[in-house]
Structure 1
Amino acid sequence: MSSSDSVQSLGKIVVIGGCGFLGHHIVNLIVSRHPQTSVSVLDVRTTNNRHASSTVSYYDSDITDYDAVLELFRRIRPDAVIHTASPTAFLPNEIHEKVNIGGTKNLLKAAQEVGVKAFVYTSSASVSLDPKVDVVNADETWPYVTGSRQPEYYTTTKAFAEQAVLAANRTPSTFLTAAIRPAGIFGEGDVQILPPMVTAYRRGQTKFQVGDNNNLFEFTYVENIAHAHLLALSALLTTHRMAPTVPLDSERVDGEAFFITNGQPVYFWDFARAVWHEAGDRLPIQKVWKLQVDFAFVVGAILEWAFWALGKKPNLTRQQVRYSTMPKYYNIDKAKKRLGYEATVDLKEGVRRGVQYILEREKQDSEKKAQ
């Protein structure tokens, strides 16, 4: 744990997207560790994932509306901003561009206008992901992969937004920025990793795997990512207090990006089976059928075509085949050295918490329907 954990107040913090999956975990962690901090949550809708603390305020706001954002920032006068808001990857390209790029630039401009000291951006580990290149111990020196080389337009917009955030560092000199790049985020409230895996268990699909399961993959529990955001924020605020002294290049946090993982890369299907086991699956490994990658790729192509005609998305796609069989893990030494980062919750406990959250929600929904 960082020594910053003993600080009662970080000042006035605005969490953009603070009612979302990662955002509300960050809010919870701020309230827990820094109880005297004033937290303002800005989100398109603030009805979900609200914290009961009197130190947290909620504002419905659209970050693509610069005037509205500026008006709120002038009213709140925040010391720091944590920007987690982003549309899901499945929405149209124009929404990604409008929110991820345009919205981020609006936030930067408004923050600079009102004298914000620190700005932490939630980027993505995928900003350096080339689908044709295995990701083996990747670090922050790997280049951005955007445009025609990047099939996911969502990822391109996240990369451009990160570049804008880092370029804004020290403009003015009192405005400090950093970016956190989470990899494979999962946990209570996620919709992209654990729920589909639990659904696969419900459908009896745990008897299949694609490939030989020899590819290390990175999954990161959400609270660890929230922890990294607070470490970055504390470091930026500390650097601000030290001005005009500038940290050594080997120690700097401002103007820098950081990969964040659990530091526990695992074989892809081992993680899936850990999720299934927590959900109740007891299928012996000897009964698992291994689908060859080339065969699964052809099946995925056929399913994509057939489901496209029906206006639906299949359970198996060519992209899923590629991502579930490629190595994808990162080097987090930079975050360890400069942020003092270490995962606070290990992978096994993260899986337990995340799956139990889903099972409890299912139980509650079932009881409501029975009433």
Structure 2
Amino acid sequence: MQRLGGPPICRGLAPLWLRLQASRPQQQQQQQHVLQQQQQQHMRQQRQQQHLLQQGAPRSGHTGALPQQGLQRLTAPPHFPSPQQQLQQQQQQQQQQQQQQRGIASFQRAMRRLQWPLLREEMAVFFEQQLRGPATSLSDLQQQQQQQQQQQQQQQGSSSVSVACSPWERFVSSQQLAAAGFVAAAIEGKGPYRKLAIAAAAVFPLAFDEAHGHLSHLFKARLYKLRVGNVIEHCLVKAAKVDPLARHIYFILFQRHKEGEVSQVDLPLTLLGLLACPAYHQGYHVELARPTVPVQFVGPEPPPPLFVDVSQLRFSPPYSAVTLETLKDQLPRDGTARFAPSLNPKEEVAWAYEVGSLPEVPLPASWKDPNFIDRKGLMMDVWNHRRFPKPS
């Protein structure tokens, strides 16, 4: 039931009715104010037009009296939307905004509804792979990490590599490791002695980086990050037992390196700019005087290989040379590396000479052929044979 001309009896609707009654006078006042402003603006425009007509001022290039159509346009009252039309326009705008908000909310709900099934499917596939072959999946992840590290190192100009290792079990010989596809190795210095087994597929590409070459000079100038379980050893190659002709490695001895302590490596030299060398164009022979240069470093890793630029080398008799002091700019600028103190800055690292023009110099008396040195470091007596008596 409801009383005539009064508020509703229901208590829940009483506040709403009061708010509506209170808001009606405000709306009426706003509408009246808008209409008054529009009327005032219209009156101003009419006054301006009458003033222009009285003065007889031309409009937009026309002279004399204005045409009848122009007078009608000037004197015609402008069309203003009624309050009902304004309310309809406002309601349409509100409806459009509400529709956009509903569409955004429905899209968000759909994304939340679809997110969990997709995530669940990915998790199920991952755990199924782990159940089928966890070792292979983990090895794939490790290979991806190694590839990313190698790409970053190549961009930064670093020669260090990361190699996965396994412990060398007791009562297993190096021959058995070689038959299983591993290389026997050991780590010494600045810590406990550790025996390792490294996969041959991971070491051989680093040792023999050329198709028909011998042991790479960079093999002993790298920093190796040997991962043994949860332990990572930063090491340098101290010695290696290698057959360069058969391209096979039997044993590798590593030595630990700690940042802040001095370590020495033999960095390889690479000839650069040979095709642009003026001496080479004139027919002279251009070559490296030495394949490596000893470098001492205290940083986290050794510097990359050095480049000997001969693009500006010209021949002047008896020969021309590039000295060691021209390579100082390639060392780290933070002072963590230097050439070995035994080297002379004027020592030659590359030559340009005419073949046959330089006299031959005999070998020094203290020189020993490394091909005839045994495991104990002593010279082999090749004449101690009944068919080849030792000369008196």
TM-score category of the 2 structures, normalised to the smaller one: under 0.3
Higher strand share: 2
**Which structure has the greater CA radius of gyration?**
2
What is the TM-score when the length of structure 2 is the normalising length? 0.19
**Structure possessing the higher relative contact order (Cα contacts under 8 Å, 6 or more residues apart):** 1
Higher helix share: 1
What is the TM-score when the length of structure 1 is the normalising length? 0.20
